[in-house]
Amino acid sequence: MKKYIIILIIALLFHTSCSDSFFEKYPTDSMTVENYMKDTDEIQTVLNAAYSSMSGTFANSIVYIGDLPTDNAYDFKLNNSSNHIALHESTVDSQNGVLSDLWYACYQIINRCCLVIDNMEMVASTDEVYNQLVGEAKFLRAYTYYVMVRVWGDVPLVLEDITDYMAVFEYARTPVEQVYAQIIEDLKDAESKLPDFYESNNDKGKASATAAQAILGDVYLTRGDYSNAKTYFEKIIAKEGANLGLLENYASIFDANNANNKEIIFAVQYANNQSPSMGNYLGSAALGNIQGIPIDPDGSGSQIYGVNILMMTHELEAKFIENDNRRTVVYTDLISPDYSCTIPMTLKYFDYQNVTDGISGQPDSGCETIISRYADIILKYAECLNELSNYTEAIGQIRRIRERAGLTTDIDANYESIFSAIEDERQLELCMEGHRWFDLLRTERTKTVVDAFYNRENEVVLPTTISIYQYGDPNSPLSVSDHELLFPLPYDQIELNPDVLIQNPGY
- Find how far residue 162's CA is from the centre of its chain: 27
Per-residue pLDDT band at 2 (split at 50, 70, 90): low
Quick one: pLDDT band at residue 1, thresholds 50, 70, 90? low
Residue 61 contacts by C-beta under 8 Å, 6 or more apart in sequence?
98, 99, 101, 102, 105
CB 54 within 8 A of CB 268: yes
Residue 349 pLDDT > 90: yes
CA dist 1 and 8 (Å) reads 11
Confidence at 33, pLDDT banded by 50, 70, 90: low
* SS (HEC) of 296-359: CCCCCCCEECCCCCCEECHHHHHHCCCCCHHHHHEECCCECCCCCCECCEECCCCCHHHHHCCC
CB 369 within 8 A of CB 268: yes
What are the residues facing 342 on neighbouring strands? 335
Task: Report percent pLDDT > 90 for the chain.
Answer: 86
CA distance 425 to 120: 43
| Closest C-alpha to 431, from 58, 59, 64, 67 | 67
Please list, in sequence order, all residues whose beta carbon lies within 8 angstroms of the beta carbon of residue 89, skipping any fewer than 6 positions away: 472, 478
Q: Which of 8-12, 238-242, 466-470 has the lowest mean pLDDT?
A: 8-12
What is the residue-averaged pLDDT of the chain? 92
pLDDT digits (tens, 9 = 90+) for 180-235: 999 999 999 999 999 999 999 999 999 999 999 999 999 999 999 999 999 999 99
446-459 pLDDT tens trace: 999 999 999 999 99
Find out whether 208 and 196 touch, Cβ atoms under 8 Å. Answer: yes
- For the residues 265-270, what does the mean pLDDT come to? 97
- Would you state the pLDDT for residue 69? 98
Beta strand 330-331 with 345-346 is antiparallel
CB-count exposure of residue 105 (10 Å: 0-12, 13-18, 19+): buried
pTM score above 0.75: yes
Q: Report cis status (omega within 30 of 0) of the bond before 276.
A: yes
* pLDDT tens track for 124-177: 999 999 999 999 999 999 999 999 999 999 999 999 987 776 777 788 999 999
**Would you call 35 exposed, middle or buried from its count of C-beta atoms within 10 A (0-12, 13-18, 19+)?**
exposed
